[in-house]
């Protein structure tokens, strides 16, 4: 690894690389990006949006002539993954918004990814076609069948090169297994199964079987009046194919072992931090609700995001996290307003860098935050068009909490709560990050010396 990659030292400077999306104000809601994900090599970057579309970017090959421009991402494929549906039986509209995309590891020339909306998961195959067969015997050049009587010779069709075409085809559709809204999908390390989680249940699928799934977690109470908690996120362990975690709206994480029983209603481990009595309020539960849970690449830690903090947990210690990072603690005194305008229900995601030494998550005003777990340094950066000159270095931002506001600081009351960074992604091995700001996708890289 390049020295400096994977740490957030004073020397790490983040630069603007690219931005995708339109500049117009008043964009359609369909263009709002709802998920971002690099594939396992970082060669591809996928986004899903509210309109049910998936856009895949591919990193161009680095050329020796342009050392300063480390491979840029260009559009590789665009397709409509999900369409709006109407469930006539229940008189319900099913949104086409893509909630999550997860890549499968590459096993041949084609790329595979899972994309899901609230109800249906689909497996897409993205493949290239750059050759075309010519010289059919039974068909003419337009593909029409020839009259057999006119065929007098036999020839072997040959493959001729053609312009590169990237096709996306739906290979599997996994439907009708979720009553509630799917919030997570996770590919198992065995590459044969994956899970999908909704508010109350988690199902295990085999990639080859679409008409059946196994229910492995069910927290629906017998009497719905006893419902006080929902599942908010779930993920498989990166190496142990029998282990997964799921988080709840009450700020707890359960680790389950599928070998223990068919229905994993009894957890193997239960992670919960006791409530801090000095911070108790009416909103304690809402802000403790976990919006994202991610295993570290090593599989030794899990990271959780709740409304105000990011926490790192050691799998071997259940009673409290080993690290807690304040994302935007200045909002603690504003919870009532944030409850009123529903911002308190926003679901932020969090990501690890490739070496698990830095974690990143989004905030408001198009700010996003990075925390270095080793140096304990943190930085606030902004995704905005103003900082969008090529290779422009991003200047750290600061929110002024009270008292005198310095020149470059922004006061809490000036923050724009409609500009939220909910979805971010980090390249698996390099310091390249993708940040979704409403309908724009920003790509930042660290400065190449």
Give me the residues that bind other proteins (CB under 8 A), please. Answer: 89-93, 179-181, 199-200, 220, 223-225, 227-230, 232, 249, 277-283, 285-286, 289, 333-343, 345, 413, 415, 417-418
Judge whether 46 and 410 are in contact, CB under 8 Å. Answer: no
Q: Which is nearer to other proteins, 41 or 281 (CB)?
A: 281
Cβ neighbour number for residue 15 with a 10 Å cutoff: 16
Q: Rounded to an integer, what distance in angstroms lies between the CA atom of residue 441 and that of residue 438?
A: 8
> Considering the complex, what minimum distance in angstroms separates the CB of residue 400 from other proteins?
15
| DSSP SS3 for 412 | helix
Q: Which is nearer to other proteins, 90 or 155 (CB)?
A: 90
> Considering the complex, what minimum distance in angstroms separates the CB of residue 45 from other proteins?
28
Cβ neighbour number for residue 302 with a 10 Å cutoff: 22
> Considering the complex, what minimum distance in angstroms separates the CB of residue 244 from other proteins?
20
Q: Rounded to an integer, what distance in angstroms lies between the CA atom of residue 311 and that of residue 325?
A: 6
Question: Distance of alpha carbon 182 from its chain centroid, rounded?
Answer: 14
> Considering the complex, what minimum distance in angstroms separates the CB of residue 289 from other proteins?
6
Q: Which is nearer to other proteins, 58 or 288 (CB)?
A: 288
Q: Which is nearer to other proteins, 118 or 235 (CB)?
A: 118
Judge whether 274 and 331 are in contact, CB under 8 Å. Answer: no
Paired with 370 in beta bridges are 360, 379
> Considering the complex, what minimum distance in angstroms separates the CB of residue 364 from other proteins?
9
Q: Rounded to an integer, what distance in angstroms lies between the CA atom of residue 247 and that of residue 266?
A: 14
> Considering the complex, what minimum distance in angstroms separates the CB of residue 92 from other proteins?
5
Q: Which helix (H) or strand (E) holds 340?
A: helix 335-340
> Considering the complex, what minimum distance in angstroms separates the CB of residue 280 from other proteins?
8
Check residue 286 and report its DSSP letter: H
Q: Which is nearer to other proteins, 163 or 413 (CB)?
A: 413
Q: Which is nearer to other proteins, 193 or 248 (CB)?
A: 248
Judge whether 219 and 227 are in contact, CB under 8 Å. Answer: no
Q: Which residue has the tokens 């084609």?
A: 110
Q: Which is nearer to other proteins, 1 or 88 (CB)?
A: 88
Q: What distances in angstroms separate CA 52 from CA 12, 127, 130, 400, one per listed residue? A: 36, 20, 27, 38
């Amino acid at each position: 690894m390049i020295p400096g990659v994977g740490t957030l030292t004073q020397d790490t400077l983040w630069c603007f690389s690219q931005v995708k999306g339109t500049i117009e104000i008043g964009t359609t809601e369909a263009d709002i990006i709802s998920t971002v994900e690099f594939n396992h090599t970082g060669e591809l970057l996928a986004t899903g949006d509210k309109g049910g579309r998936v856009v895949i970017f591919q990193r161009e090959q680095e050329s020796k002539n342009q050392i300063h421009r480390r491979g840029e991402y260009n559009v590789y494929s665009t397709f409509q993954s999900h369409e709006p549906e109407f469930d006539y039986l229940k008189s319900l509209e099913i949104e086409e918004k893509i909630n999550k995309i997860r890549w499968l590891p590459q096993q041949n020339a084609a790329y595979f990814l899972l994309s899901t909306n609230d109800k249906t998961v689909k497996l897409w195959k993205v493949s290239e076609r750059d050759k075309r067969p010519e010289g059919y015997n039974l068909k003419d050049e337009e593909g029409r069948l020839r009259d057999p009587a006119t065929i007098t010779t036999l020839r072997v069709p040959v493959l001729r090169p053609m312009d590169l075409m990237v096709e996306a085809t739906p290979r599997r559709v996994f439907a009708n297994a979720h009553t509630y809204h799917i919030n997570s999908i996770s590919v198992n390390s065995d590459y044969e199964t994956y899970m999908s989680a909704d508010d109350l249940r988690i199902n295990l699928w085999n990639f080859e079987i679409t008409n059946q799934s196994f229910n492995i977690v069910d927290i629906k109470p017998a009497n719905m009046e006893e419902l006080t908690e929902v599942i908010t996120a779930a993920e498989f362990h990166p190496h142990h194919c029998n282990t997964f975690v799921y988080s709840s709206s009450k700020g707890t994480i359960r680790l389950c072992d599928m070998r223990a029983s068919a229905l994993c209603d009894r957890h193997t481990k239960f992670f919960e931090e006791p409530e801090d009595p000095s911070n108790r309020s009416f909103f304690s539960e809402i802000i403790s609700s976990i919006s994202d849970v991610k295993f570290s690449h090593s599989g030794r830690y899990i990271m959780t995001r709740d409304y105000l903090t990011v926490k790192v947990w050691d799998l071997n210690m259940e009673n409290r996290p080993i690290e807690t990072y304040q994302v935007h603690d200045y909002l603690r005194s504003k919870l009532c307003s944030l409850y009123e305008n529903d911002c308190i229900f926003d679901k932020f995601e969090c990501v690890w860098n490739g070496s698990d030494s830095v974690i990143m998550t989004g905030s408001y005003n198009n700010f996003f935050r990075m925390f270095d777990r080793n140096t304990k340094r943190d930085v606030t950066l902004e995704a905005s068009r103003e900082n969008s000159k090529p290779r422009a270095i991003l200047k750290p931002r600061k929110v002024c909490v009270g008292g005198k506001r310095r020149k470059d600081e922004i006061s809490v009351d000036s923050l724009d709560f409609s500009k939220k960074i909910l979805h971010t992604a980090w390249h698996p091995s390099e310091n390249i990050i993708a940040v979704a700001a409403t309908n724009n996708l920003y790509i930042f890289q660290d400065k190449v010396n």
